[in-house]
């Protein structure tokens, strides 16, 4: 299951991601926000990150206007490795090298087509399992 969250600035892109996940037959849990009224991204980003950290969800996707604030919030939760990505190569490499368990995107920074390509890359790319990458992740966790 994929944890989703956004603030008002990421709401439209989150809606597109939800439709895309449904088309792919993937389960998700939406932690809000549920409309375009101004709100605080930490409330929703933290809830999604906690669900991933606790194992309720396997991965997470969080979206605010830039992706910066909500990625910072997610990374405050122990066990989360959230990567802000604006193109497919970073999404692929953060999965292969960092075993990132959350993806952040900026709803005001990238278009829907590109965002959905990033989502697919992030969800479909496995961790490399290379010793050097595992060693580095262990150091991050410590």
Q: pLDDT by residue (tens digit) across 124-141?
A: 999 999 999 999 999 998
Choose the catalytic residue: 8, 20, 39, 97: 97
Q: What is the DSSP letter of 110?
A: S
Number of structural domains (the chain) is 1
The pTM assigned to this predicted structure is: 0.96
Tell me which residue range forms the domain holding 88: 2-141
Encoding tokens for residue 49? Answer: 């990150």
Indicate which CATH number applies to the domain containing 20.
3.40.1400.10
Q: What's the Rg (C-alpha) of the chain?
A: 14
Question: Catalytic one among 57, 64, 82, 85?
Answer: 64
Report pLDDT digits (tens) over 25-69.
Answer: 999 999 999 999 999 999 999 999 999 999 999 999 999 999 999
Nearest Cα neighbor of 83 from 52, 38, 43 is 52
**Angstrom distance (rounded) from CA 135 to CA 142:** 11
Examine the residue annotation and report whether 97 is marked as an active-site residue of this protein.
yes
């Amino acid at each position: 299951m994929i944890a989703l969250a956004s603030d008002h600035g990421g709401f439209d892109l989150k809606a597109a991601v939800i439709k895309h996940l449904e088309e792919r037959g993937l389960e998700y849990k939406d932690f809000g926000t549920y409309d375009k009224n101004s709100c605080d991204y930490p409330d929703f980003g933290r809830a999604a990150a906690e669900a991933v950290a606790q194992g309720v969800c396997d991965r997470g996707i969080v979206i605010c206007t830039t992706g910066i604030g909500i990625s910072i919030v997610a990374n405050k939760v122990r066990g989360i490795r959230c990567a802000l990505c604006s193109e497919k190569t970073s999404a692929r490499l953060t999965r292969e090298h960092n075993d990132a368990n959350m993806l952040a995107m900026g709803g005001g920074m990238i278009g829907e087509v590109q965002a959905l390509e990033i989502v697919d890359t992030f969800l479909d790319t496995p961790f490399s399992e290379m010793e050097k990458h595992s060693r580095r992740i262990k150091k991050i966790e410590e």
